[in-house]
A and B are shown apart, each in its own frame.
Chain A
Amino acid sequence: MALLEVKDLQVRVEDREILHGLSLTVNPGEVHAIMGPNGSGKSTLSHVIAGKPGYEVTGGQILFRGEDLLEMAPDERAAKGVFLAFQYPVEIPGVATMNFLRTALNAQRKARGESEYSTPDFLKKVREVSKSLNIPQDMLKRGVNVGFSGGEKKRNEILQMALFEPSLCILDEMDSGLDIDALRIAADGVNALRSPERAMVVITHYQRLLNYIVPDYVHVMAKGSVVKTGGKELALQLEESGYAQFEDA
């Protein structure tokens, strides 16, 4: 069974239709890149999959392992294994990162009927993952993302991905605001999580990120739907020819 099936999805924000009949199928183990110009609806797709309020689905469906994702609250989706790495992770002053990680992980486990992590196991795991992502321990004591640099915020997203072990990771513009070194650390973190059971959807405007996270499929989005699908070489072609050909269509 496909992990994620988006079928003929139509989405409105206020009076404007942003997605007009978008379809996408993602199987376990696959990495899909979604590329496209600004305003093509890439981020809208990621938000609707994660369940962000403010979007009205007027048609189509989203199935996650055959279940209707649109019927689920955002926290239920997370517990089922959907993870959105935010383009702009929010700052939450007063909520210590470590406390947040533990609360979130245990909430997900509780929703799945699993036992809560013991404190030593949890700490050991956080330490391991944060070390591999070059996240200093004192960062985990600070408020969630408070005073973090752009790169630190993105690494914190990947840290969560590694801890929660979702089956579907959606990376929304992970490369925005990152210099080349920060990008490499983040991409290494993502690559370490690639597995036959886990699928990834990498949303990006630029081909650059795909040098580090090499996709199996590349989809081009324009004006609210997928206009072209190909292999990783499609990204390189786009780099040369640009998006204009799709926007004029």
Chain B
Amino acid sequence: MNVVLAKTDTGRAVSTSFALARERLPGSGKVAEQRQQAFEAFERAGLPHRRIEDWKYTDLRVLMREVLPLAAAPDTAALSRAEAALKLHAIEGTRRLVLVDGVFAAKLSDLGKGEKGLSVRTLREVLEAGDGELLASDNSNPMIALNTAMATDGVVIEIANGTVLEQPLHVVHVASTGTPAAMYTRSLLRLGRDASATLVESFVATEGAKAYQTYDSLIVSLGDNARLDHLRLVEDGLEAFNIASAAVTLGAHAQLNTFGMVSGASVSRYQPTIIFAGEGARVDTNGVNLIKGRQHADTTLFMDHAVPHCASREVFRAVIDDRAHSVFQGRIVVRPDAQKTDAKMMTRALLLSDEAEADNKPELEIFADDVTCGHGATTGALDESLLFYLRARGLPEKEAQALLIQAFVGEAIESIANDSLREHVIAAAQRWLEARA
């Protein structure tokens, strides 16, 4: 769709912001050119709005209105605020890699004693060395283009062939900015052949960080037979915006098990694209939204079955209270060659108030004839007969509801293979339920 628009005030503000930020953006020469092209692509499109099909339910012109200026690099005070916030969100036993206001914070990260086969660099290092591969992404999505233009830092993680990484990696995005500002990160995780790893991503805020915008883009590539367990937790401040994407490519017989939970941010959008590039791969993707107030949480997933004999499962659960709005768009494409594809998608939304809203949009585009594909979607309130049963056994109303909500999201949470990570997520969900009671 082509929507030609005159440049708005907002558009001018972004141009100025990009011009001002350029000095600080790593990379010159070809890298700077890539940024320029991406920025022009963003400028042509502007913020996505409801007339663009993909953004129908998440009109950023209405919800976000403007792109904020680039956040300042964190000073000592910002880093100590971030350190305090990390204590609340730490996950024991993980190797922590921390980005504060879009800048890698070596002081807060665990860089010592790297396991054999693990390499961690920053995006800044990579871009300054002149390697622009990580910025070579598709400019057709204006928000990814904006991220390409503005990415200040990120982590570039490479795991060598055959390396089984024991310690989960925990990439924490901390927003500490006290003034309204935007932060842009781009990261890479590349797993070699037969390698396996666990990646946790958390988006959190320090005390005092309120109306910020965080833009992230993750690129993942799994070699043949590689396995990634991925956990993504959006726990941003309730006035924040989190606009993110992921591009995942799986080699033959690779396995991806991914779980996402959104409980924070005023508006969040996560747009993963998963491409099967080798036969026999499998993806399990699970998601939970726990939202209330006027939160808006959008997951727009694109599963591209490009080759035969791959399987994908999507289980998505949304719990929506007050006037919150949950969006799930799941598009599965099965290309003509992708025979024996087995793809299933199930989304369920639980509305806890009359004003809560859920939009579920499954899309199946199947061009092969020997496939098993299916999807289902339900939306409803808590089952009155179950509530009565629990209350007749002595559970007060809120406790009975909490037990049923836990059960509702439980199926998705159970998919987390690592015990301590699963416990971490269960505890986060429980905190959300307790805050509600």
Contacts and interface: CB of A to CB of B under 8 A. Distances in A.
Contacts of A86: 389, 392
B399 A74 contact: no
B410 to A, nearest CB: 4
A192 to B, nearest CB: 20
Contacts of B391: 51, 73-75, 78
B394 A108 contact: yes
Given A74-B388, A86-B389, A89-B389, A94 B408 contact: yes
A84 B385 CA distance: 14
Given A51-B391, A74-B391, A86-B389, A103 B403 contact: yes
Nearest to B383: A90
A11 interface: no
A52 B383 CA distance: 13
A78 B394 contact: yes
Given A53-B388, A74-B388, A103-B399, A164 B393 contact: yes
A160 B386 CA distance: 16
Given A53-B384, A94-B407, A94-B410, A103 B395 contact: yes
Q: Is the interface of B mostly helix, strand, loop or mixed?
A: helix
A117 interface: no
A92 B393 contact: no
Contact of A107 (B383, B386, B399, B404): B399
Contacts of B395: 75, 103-104, 107
Interface size bracket, A side: 20 to 34
Interface in A40-62: 50-53
B396 interface: yes
Nearest to A166: B394
A100 B392 CA distance: 12
A78 B393 contact: yes
A75 B408 CA distance: 22
B10 interface: no
B384, B393, B408 — most chain A CB neighbours (10 Å): B393
Given A73-B397, A75-B397, A107-B399, A84 B407 contact: no
Contacts of B403: 95, 100, 103
Interface string A12-56: 000000000000000000000000000000000000001111000
B411 interface: yes
Contacts of B415: none
Interface string A88-114: 011011110000100111011001000
Nearest to A52: B388
Contacts of B394: 75, 78-79, 104-105, 107-108, 111, 164
Interface residues of B, number: 23
B126 interface: no
A51 B386 contact: no
Contacts of B400: 75
A56 to B, nearest CB: 16
B390 interface: yes
Nearest to A92: B386
A160 B404 CA distance: 19
Contact of A75 (B384, B385, B396, B411): B396
Interface string B172-186: 000000000000000
Contacts of B407: 92-95, 143
B406 interface: yes
B396 to A, nearest CB: 5
A90 B404 CA distance: 13
Nearest to B411: A94
Interface in B400-420: 400, 403-404, 406-408, 410-411
Contacts of A53: 384, 388
A90 B385 contact: yes
Contacts of A75: 391-397, 400
A104 B389 CA distance: 11
B396 A107 contact: yes
Contacts of A73: 391, 396-397
A105 B383 CA distance: 22
A95 B407 CA distance: 6
A47 B386 CA distance: 14
Contacts of B408: 94
B380 to A, nearest CB: 14
A85 to B, nearest CB: 10
Given A53-B384, A73-B397, A94 B392 contact: no
A94 B399 contact: no
A86 B385 CA distance: 11
Contact of A92 (B399, B404, B411): B404
Contacts of B397: 73, 75
Interface string B353-394: 000000000000000000000000000000111101111111
A140 to B, nearest CB: 15
Contacts of B406: 94-95
A81 to B, nearest CB: 10
B242 to A, nearest CB: 28
Contacts of A95: 403-404, 406-407
Nearest to A95: B407
Contacts of B388: 52-53, 74
Contacts of A89: 389
A160 B390 CA distance: 12
A51 B392 contact: yes
A78 B388 CA distance: 11
B414 to A, nearest CB: 9
14 contacts: A50-B392, A51-B392, A53-B384, A74-B391, A75-B396, A77-B392, A79-B394, A92-B404, A92-B407, A94-B406, A95-B403, A100-B393, A103-B395, A103-B399
Given A92-B404, A104-B395, 5 more contacts: A51-B392, A90-B383, A104-B390, A105-B394, A107-B395
Smallest CB-CB A-B distances: 6 pairs: A94-B407, A108-B394, A78-B394, A74-B391, A104-B393, A94-B410
